Amino acid sequence: MSAGYSPVHKETLKNSGFYKTTAWRRIRRLALQRDHYLCQGCMRKRVYKKATEVHHIIAVDADPTLALSLDNLESLCRYCHEDTKSRGKIVTHVTLASGAKVRVIAIR
């Protein structure tokens, strides 16, 4: 067995068909419209690129109550969205005193 493999299937929003629901499609469209269909990751680098993905800042598995929260979504291009995946990284979300949510990434 590979590391992290569990023979017990864990039911999550992701594998329950959440991303095919009308509610998700609607909030996804709103996030893209709010961000003017521009990748927010690229814009932080002062580059303008079309967004094709909508990313949960705090993962659905970490807090399912934020799954349909527009404030927890950001529009990203495919490259930036792949970069958010935690392959070989330790990702932590921290809320600052100002209320801003920050994603902290450490490479293993």
Q: Is the pLDDT of residue 88 over 90?
A: no
Model pLDDT, residue 108: 45
For residue 66, being part of any structural domain is answered with yes
Compute the distance between CA of residue 28 and CA of residue 53 in angstroms, rounded to an integer.
Answer: 9
**Count of domains in the chain?**
1
* DSSP conformation class of 1: -
**Residue-range definition of the domain harbouring residue 70:** 14-107
For residue 22, being part of any structural domain is answered with yes
Q: Is the pTM of this model over 0.75?
A: no
For residue 21, being part of any structural domain is answered with yes
Q: Is the pLDDT of residue 107 over 80?
A: no
For residue 1, being part of any structural domain is answered with no
* For range 63-86, the mean pLDDT: 92
For residue 94, being part of any structural domain is answered with yes
For residue 29, being part of any structural domain is answered with yes
* For range 59-65, the mean pLDDT: 86
For residue 95, being part of any structural domain is answered with yes
Per the structure block, which two tokens stand in for 93? 């979300």
User: H/E/C letters for each residue in 12-80?
Assistant: CCHHHCHHHCHHHHHHHHHHHHHCCCECHHHHHCCCCCECCEEEECCCCCCCHHHCCCHHHEEEECHHH
pLDDT confidence bin for 4, thresholds 50/70/90: very low
For residue 52, being part of any structural domain is answered with yes
Q: Is the pLDDT of residue 10 over 60?
A: no
